[in-house]
Amino acid sequence: MLASSASFLAYALTWNEGYLPAVPALQSYWIKIHVPLVVSAYAAFLVAMVTSLLYLIKYYGERALEGWSGPGTSLRAAAAGGAPPGATLTVQSYAEAPVRRVTGGDLPVLATAAAEGNVLALWLSTLPSLTKLDIMTYRIIAVGLPLLTVGIITGAWWAKEAWGAYWQWDPKETAALVSWTVYALYMHLHTRNSWRGLRCAWLSVLGFATIMFCYLGVNIWISGLHSYKM
Label residue 230 by pLDDT band (50, 70, 90).
very low
Q: Span 205-225, mean pLDDT? A: 82
Please choose, from the candidates 139, 179, 158, 141, the residue with its C-alpha nearest in 3D space to the C-alpha of residue 36: 158
pLDDT at residue 163 is higher than 50: yes
Please choose, from the candidates 43, 52, 31, 1, the residue with its C-alpha nearest in 3D space to the C-alpha of residue 143: 43
Pair 38, 141: CB distance under 8 Å: no
Quick one: pLDDT at residue 116? Answer: 78
Neighbours of 76 (CB within 10 A): 22
Q: Span 150-164, mean pLDDT? A: 87
Sign of CA dihedral 53, 213, 152, 219: positive
To the nearest whole number, what is the mean pLDDT of the chain? 77
Quick one: pLDDT at residue 12? Answer: 66
Quick one: pLDDT at residue 102? Answer: 37
pTM across the whole model: 0.72
In the DSSP assignment, the letter for residue 222 is S
Alpha carbons within 13 angstroms on the beta-carbon side of residue 158 total 21
pLDDT at residue 72 is higher than 50: no
Neighbours of 75 (CB within 10 A): 26
Quick one: pLDDT at residue 216? Answer: 82
Quick one: pLDDT at residue 42? Answer: 93
CA distance 137 to 206: 13
Q: Span 172-200, mean pLDDT? A: 93
pLDDT at residue 134 is higher than 90: yes
Neighbours of 188 (CB within 10 A): 10
CA distance 139 to 146: 12
